[in-house]
């Protein structure tokens, strides 16, 4: 069965510092992997996705994530945090084919300190 684990329900970084949000997955088949961002009182927006092409995926707002099969990880990074990055971030996994069921992690709330 698929599962997603996000380490750290809350992460705080200083403005300008590196952002690192961790995601580990388990999947019995090659997965699709996603990162979504949720701003307060809004729905989830796609940041980036991995679909078995390049292992380093670039997304919107300067975020990127690297798929590491040996570590079953898909960590999200951004070199320099901005105040506007404060939000909740969700990692998700789905099977590459089939019923398109998506499993979401429990989320990581990012706080950016001035």
Partner 1 sequence: NAGVTQTPKFQVLKTGQSMTLQCAQDMNHNSMYWYRQDPGMGLRLIYYSASEGTTDKGEVPNGYNVSRLNKREFSLRLESAAPSQTSVYFCASSGSLSGNTIYFGEGSWLTVV
Please report whether residue 100 would count as binding partner 1 according to CB under 8 A: yes
**Closest among 61, 54, 57 to 23, alpha carbons compared:** 57
Residue 21 or residue 92: which is nearer to partner 1 going by CB?
92
Task: Please select the residue that binds partner 1; options are 42, 52, 55, 61, rule is CB under 8 A.
Answer: 42
> 13 Cβ partners below 8 Å, 6+ apart?
19, 81, 110, 111, 112, 113
Q: How far is the CB of 71 from partner 1 (least distance, A)?
A: 22
Question: H or E segment at 14?
Answer: strand 10-14
Q: How far is the CB of 93 from partner 1 (least distance, A)?
A: 11
Residues 8-37 that bind partner 1 (CB under 8 A): 9, 32, 34, 36
Please report whether residue 53 would count as binding partner 1 according to CB under 8 A: no
**Closest among 83, 114, 92 to 34, alpha carbons compared:** 92
Please report whether residue 106 would count as binding partner 1 according to CB under 8 A: yes
**Closest among 41, 31, 39, 40 to 60, alpha carbons compared:** 39
**Closest among 19, 18, 20, 22 to 6, alpha carbons compared:** 22
Q: How far is the CB of 82 from partner 1 (least distance, A)?
A: 23
By CB under 8 A, name the binding residues for partner 1: 9, 32, 34, 36, 41-46, 49, 51, 90, 92, 94, 96, 99-102, 104-107
């Amino acid at each position: 069965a698929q599962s997603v684990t996000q380490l750290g329900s809350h992460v705080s970084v200083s403005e300008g510092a590196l952002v690192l949000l961790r995601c580990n997955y388990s999947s019995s088949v090659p997965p699709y992997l996603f990162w979504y961002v949720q701003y307060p009182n809004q729905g989830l927006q796609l940041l980036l996705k991995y679909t078995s092409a390049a292992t380093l995926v670039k997304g919107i707002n300067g975020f990127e994530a690297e798929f590491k099969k040996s570590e079953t990880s898909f960590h999200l990074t951004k070199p320099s945090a901005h105040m506007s990055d404060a939000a909740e971030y969700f990692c998700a996994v789905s099977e590459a084919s089939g019923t398109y069921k998506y499993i979401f992690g429990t989320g990581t709330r990012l706080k950016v300190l001035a």
